[in-house]
Structure 1
Amino acid sequence: MSGIIGKKIGMTSVYSATGKNIPCTVIEAGPCVVTQVKNDETDGYTAVQLGYGERKEKNTPKALQGHFKKAGTTPKKEVAEFRDFRVEFEGCVQLGQEIKVGDVFVEGDFVDAIGTSKGKGFQGVVKRHGFGGVGQRTHGQHNRERAPGSIGGASFPARVFKGMRMAGRTGGNRVKVINLQVVKIIPEKNLVLISGSVPGANNSTVILEK
């Protein structure tokens, strides 16, 4: 599984060869730096750790400073690990090597996007779970349009079952959207256009996997 770390820029749309308008998410993918290479002998599995974004040295713990200096690079803001990196890189990945979006993806590839969804705070059941509410404002009901309704039995079972869909905090979760197509790559600007929407707010970190 190969991949790259990037930053969500926003959304746009492009026209396909057949004239279809395709909504796309613009992601600034890379350049990333190889900060660690793991192998079966020392770690029990093969993986490549990539770093993305700059981080002030004064805000970086001493242990991480040494980790990045070993790779011959400056402290990075985001770090992610990719197991079984692409076959073309097998045996060729070196500490401090720069990985760009064109090295990993080509137009037409299908990728998985991982990000942190927008936090919505404390929300009711209509927004959180898509409930329809109790009903209309009739027969004396004046404030029941968005109410959850019944949540359990009476004397039996005399409790509320675990996992009941109720109001609570919504969003702010790690979300993975699979099988999004790479529509266009702009290598000189490290940009990649992905069909559809990608979780997270603008300028949030996104991990692309293939």
Structure 2
Amino acid sequence: MPGLIGRKVGMTNVFDENGKSIACTLVEAGPCVVTQVKNEETDGYKAVQLAYGERKEKNTPKALQGHFAKAKTTPKLKVVEFRDFRSEFDDKVKLGNEIKIEDIFNEQDYVDAIGTSKGKGFQGVVKRHGFGGVGQATHGQHNRMRAPGSIGAASFPSRVFKGMKMAGRTGGDRVKTLNLRVLKVYPEKNLVLISGAIPGAKNSFVILEK
């Protein structure tokens, strides 16, 4: 599956031909460098390792310095493996090659976006799971508006079942959003405009898969 590593710039909106406002996300995607090519003979599967973003050499482990030097490139900040690149990209996915946004994406393509959602700390069940609460403040409901309610029976089974929706840490998870449309590609600036929201905060890493 071909794709690129990028960075979320922020959100904006554009207007279509009917004057309807479309919320969209601006992503700086690439250029990425091919730092490893895996095949079935040596690795057991086909994959392409791409690297993105500049990293200081003094902050890069020696093993990674050698890994990047083998691809004849500078140390990179983010490394991601993409499995099963299609055959039409064989001429581009050679060690040390630079893959740009126009090599992968075109306007009106549909892409999947992977990012790390914003961390929200410890939250209650209403914010974390969308519980409705009691719904009414009358009839003796003193402070139960956002309470979780019962979490299980008593003597049987004498425990709380795994997976019970309760309060806890929210966000900071890997999230994949499917079928987002590419509205505009700006190859001279390595920018792509994608309809809808992409998980993650501003300047966070985003993986785009076609």
Normalized against structure 2, the TM-score is what? 0.96
Verify the 8 A CA contact 1:135 1:144 in the aligned structure 2.
no
Q: Distance in 2 between matches of 1:84 and 1:161?
A: 39
Aligned to 1:83: 83
Aligned to 1:39: 39
**How many percent identity over aligned positions?**
77
> CA offsets, 1:174-197, max 9 Å, x none?
000010010100111100011100
> How far apart are residue 53 of structure 1 and its match?
0.4
Q: Distance in 1 between matches of 2:78 and 2:106?
A: 23
- Secondary structure of residue in 1 paired with 2:145: coil
Aligned to 1:18: 18
- Secondary structure of residue in 2 paired with 1:37: strand
Aligned to 1:144: 144
Give, as a single letter, the amino acid of the residue that structure 1 aligns with 2:136. Q
RMSD: 1.2
Q: Distance in 2 between matches of 1:204 and 1:92?
A: 26
Q: Distance in 2 between matches of 1:92 and 1:53?
A: 19
Verify the 8 A CA contact 1:26 1:191 in the aligned structure 2.
yes
Q: Distance in 1 between matches of 2:181 and 2:170?
A: 28
Q: Distance in 2 between matches of 1:87 and 1:108?
A: 22
Matches within 5 A, 1:84-163: 84-163=84-163
> CA offsets, 1:144-170, max 9 Å, x none?
111001111122222211111000000
- Secondary structure of residue in 2 paired with 1:165: coil
Aligned to 1:175: 175
- Secondary structure of residue in 1 paired with 2:42: helix
> CA offsets, 1:50-71, max 9 Å, x none?
0000111111111111000000
How many pairs were matched up? 210
Aligned to 1:74: 74
> CA offsets, 1:3-45, max 9 Å, x none?
0000000011112233332111000000111111111221122
Q: Distance in 1 between matches of 2:111 and 2:90?
A: 20
Give, as a single letter, the amino acid of the residue that structure 2 aligns with 1:153. A
Greater shift in the superposed pair: 5-14 or 136-145: 136-145
The unaligned stretches of length 5 or more in structure 2 are: none
Verify the 8 A CA contact 1:51 1:79 in the aligned structure 2.
yes
Q: Distance in 2 between matches of 1:28 and 1:5?
A: 9
> How far apart are residue 92 of structure 1 and its match?
4.3
Q: Distance in 1 between matches of 2:18 and 2:83?
A: 37
Q: Distance in 1 between matches of 2:136 and 2:189?
A: 53
Q: Distance in 1 between matches of 2:169 and 2:75?
A: 34
Greater shift in the superposed pair: 155-164 or 53-62: 155-164
